Amino acid sequence: MEKLLAGKVAVVTGSGRGIGAAIARRLAQFGAKVVLTDINGEGIKALEKELVEAGSEAKSMLFDVADFTHIPEQVNQMNALFGRIDIWVNNAGITESAPIENITVQQWDRMQDIDLKSVFFCSQAVFKIMKEQQYGRLVHISSMAGERGGRGSSASYSAAKAGVINLAKSFALNGGQYNITSNAVCPGRTLTEMAKDLSWLTDPKDDPKLTIPLQRFGTPEDIADAVLFLASDLSSYITGAVLDVNGGLYMR
């Protein structure tokens, strides 16, 4: 049986570890050629080796999503690696847990640059390529915090992630006529390195058995499965959607 993503080329930002690495593994497992990008060169190099040894086609490239002036040129370089880009996953991001009274202008700006502005300028650059191809799947990793506001994670983070949901809709509205879909995934509490900075991991009040209907924290693979669906043609008639992957912790 042909694999779901056979012949497709996917770029995943921030795929050096965590959710991004799990997404890249899942897309490769289902037949996509993957371009691994991150500011963490070691992580993407190791994953490239792992995927190639497992029989997939993978290439890695250093890429800072907040290096705005170089994004168009670097996205064109990624396009040249396998000759097209069918799937683009905006996953790279940072978080912080600064209390609402203490967030500085610098912290605010850094958060918006890396978690929001990057999503717009990366999507804009790849949109041009997808428009020419008359095919594209944009998947944006937002957050449960983007839907309900931030407490454990900062208000600057939740505001950026709310912006990501809105951008998913703008690209959906403008991309539909070119067969480009654009959807957001909102992870809940997911066990990665990022989570180590957040209070829910250790606070007994946040025990998942008491707070999460599915009684456990999420794994990177839980998020990757949702991305696989939205990156594939199983979701051809879904665009501008927001898919919650949070074990039922937050229901809209």
Which residues belong to the active site? Answer: 157
* Nearest residue to 122 via CA among 186, 201, 67: 67
* Interface segment toward ligand NAD; rule CB under 6 A; list 11-19, 26-34, 53-61, 174-182: 11-19
User: Shortest Cβ distance from residue 22 to ligand NAD (Å)?
Assistant: 8
* Nearest residue to 140 via CA among 113, 167, 112: 167
Binds ligand NAD (CB under 6 A): choice among 93, 163, 175, 247 = 93
3 state DSSP class of 27: helix
User: Shortest Cβ distance from residue 130 to ligand NAD (Å)?
Assistant: 21
User: Shortest Cβ distance from residue 144 to ligand NAD (Å)?
Assistant: 6
Site string for ligand NAD, 27-46 (x = CB under 6 A): -----------xxx--x---
* Nearest residue to 62 via CA among 80, 76, 47, 74: 74
DSSP state of 117: I
Site for ligand NAD in 128-187 (CB under 6 A): 141, 143, 187
* Token code pair at residue 117: 């502005």
User: Shortest Cβ distance from residue 90 to ligand NAD (Å)?
Assistant: 8
* Exposed / middle / buried, residue 242 (Cβ in 10 Å: 0-12, 13-18, 19+): middle
How far CA 243 is from CA of 43, 110, 182, in Å, comes to 27, 26, 12
Binds ligand NAD (CB under 6 A): choice among 94, 98, 103, 155 = 94
- Position of minimal CB gap to ligand NAD: 18
Total residues contacting ligand NAD by CB under 6 A comes to 30
**Residue 95 binds ligand NAD, judged by CB under 6 A:** yes
Q: Which helix (H) or strand (E) holds 61?
A: strand 58-62
Phi then psi dihedrals of residue 124, to 5 deg: -60, -45
Report the amino acid identity of residue 10. Answer: A
Q: How far apart are CA 82 and CA 209, in angstroms?
A: 45
User: Shortest Cβ distance from residue 134 to ligand NAD (Å)?
Assistant: 28
CB-nearer residue toward ligand NAD: 74 or 79? 74
Residues of this chain that bind ligand NAD (CB under 6 A): 13-14, 16-20, 38-40, 43, 63-66, 91-95, 114, 141, 143, 187, 189-190, 192-195
